């Protein structure tokens, strides 16, 4: 049937020799998912901190909602994003459907609840532990947020990595709003889906192995940066 070893060797050969077709797919995956994580961090960390520290009516239901949205199926997000971005939809005039921007929007919707919910939980926990101490130094309310974010930085880094994991792994949303167009919106997961549907199972598996390597690489880089940052400020 298939010579798996041969196809694996050839796939990794394509990566190592800088095959432009495969590399453009890999880089688009990174570009879309990292952008989605960056936007989610910008919006989600302040939102999470606010939910942890501020008291307002409707806070508890909002927390439950955001926690629940961590499990929203990518295909549903893809469908909603399609209906919004379609030429017949309310945002159709922007012409974003079938572009990387549409994929970033969809993945941001997937990642944002993870960042917000986990940030909220960590800040709340840290505040319960150190709130008293902070108050004794005259730091109260929202002014304690930067300190708490700093103390929770390792946990928050892991939160962002969890968000990245969700984004880089999903296929349901990007295949609907991206359309899996060769050289334009094809990413690793949609390429794997395509090769599977062509019956090229070994090639699909090899692409999957490359995707896992990329995820390991991103996690390794972030962990090293986070460790060296910790040493630098404490030393």
Partner 1 sequence: MSAGGAERGTGRESIRRALTWIAALLLSLLAGALLFVAGITGGGVPAPEQARFVILQSTTSTRNSGLLDAILPVFEAETGIEVRVVAVGTGQALRNARNGDGDVLMVHSRADEEAFVAEGWGVARHDLMYNDFVIVGPEQDPAGIAGMGDAVAALARIAARGARFVSRGDDSGTHKAELRLWAEAGVDVAAASGGWYLETGAGMGAALNMALGLDAYTLSDRASWASFANRGRHRVLVEGDERLFNQYGVILVNPARHPHVRAEEGQRFIDWLLGPRGQGLIAAFRVNGQQLFFPNAR
* Identified binder of partner 1 from the candidate list 10, 130, 172, 214, rule CB under 8 A: 130
Rounded (10°) CA dihedral 219, 224, 225, 230: 130
Question: Does 110 participate in binding partner 1 (rule CB under 8 A)?
Answer: no
* Coil/strand/helix, residue 3: coil
Angstrom distance (rounded) from CA 157 to CA 152: 9
Q: Quick one: which of 68, 142, 181, 220 contacts partner 1 (CB under 8 A)?
A: 181
Q: Quote the CA–CA distance of 105 and 101 in Å, as a whole number.
A: 6
How many angstroms from the chain centroid is the CA of residue 115?
A: 9
CA distance linking residue 37 with residue 137, whole number of Å: 34
* Interface with partner 1, residue 95, by CB under 8 A: yes
Q: Is 140 an interacting residue with respect to partner 1 (CB under 8 A)?
A: no
Q: Look-up: residue for tokens 């390991």?
A: 216
Binding test (CB under 8 A) with partner 1, winner from 179, 208, 219, 223? 179
Residue of 14, 15, 79, 147 interacting with partner 1 (CB under 8 A) = 147
Q: Which stretch binds partner 1 (CB under 8 A): 50-58, 66-74, 131-139, 166-174?
A: 131-139
CB of 14 within 8 A of CB of 20? no
Residues between 48 and 77 with contacts to partner 1, criterion CB under 8 A: none
Closest CA to 69 of 95, 39, 42, 40: 40
Among residues 73, 90, 141, 199, the one that binds partner 1 under rule CB under 8 A: 199
Instruction: For residue 135, give the H/E element and its range.
Output: helix 100-136
Cβ nearer to partner 1, comparing 56 with 137: 137
Residues of this chain that interact with partner 1 (CB under 8 A) are: 1-2, 20, 23-25, 27-28, 30-32, 34-35, 37-39, 41-42, 45, 86-89, 92, 95, 97-101, 129-130, 133-134, 137, 139, 143, 146-147, 149-151, 153, 179-184, 194, 196-201, 229, 233
């Amino acid at each position: 049937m298939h010579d798996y070893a041969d196809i694996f060797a050839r796939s990794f050969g394509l990566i190592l020799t800088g095959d432009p077709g495969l590399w453009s797919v890999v880089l688009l995956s990174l570009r879309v998912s990292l952008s989605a994580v960056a936007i989610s961090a910008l919006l989600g960390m302040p939102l999470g901190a606010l939910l942890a520290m501020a008291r307002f009516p409707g806070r508890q239901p909002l927390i439950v909602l955001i926690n629940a949205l961590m499990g929203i199926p990518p295909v549903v997000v893809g469908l909603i994003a399609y209906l919004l971005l379609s030429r017949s939809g309310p945002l159709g005039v922007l012409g974003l459907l079938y572009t990387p921007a549409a994929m970033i929007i969809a993945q941001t919707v997937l990642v944002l609840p993870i960042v917000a919910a986990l940030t909220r939980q960590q800040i709340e926990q840290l505040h319960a532990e150190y709130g008293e101490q902070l108050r004794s130094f005259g730091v109260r309310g929202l002014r304690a947020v930067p300190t708490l974010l700093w103390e929770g930085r390792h946990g928050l880094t892991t939160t962002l990595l969890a968000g990245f994991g969700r984004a880089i792994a999903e296929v349901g949303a990007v295949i609907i709003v991206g359309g899996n167009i060769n050289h334009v919106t094809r990413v690793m997961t949609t390429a794997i889906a395509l090769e599977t549907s062509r019956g090229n199972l070994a090639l699909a598996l090899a692409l999957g192995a490359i995707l896992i390597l990329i995820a390991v690489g991103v996690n390794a880089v972030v962990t090293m940066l986070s460790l060296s940052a910790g040493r630098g400020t404490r030393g």
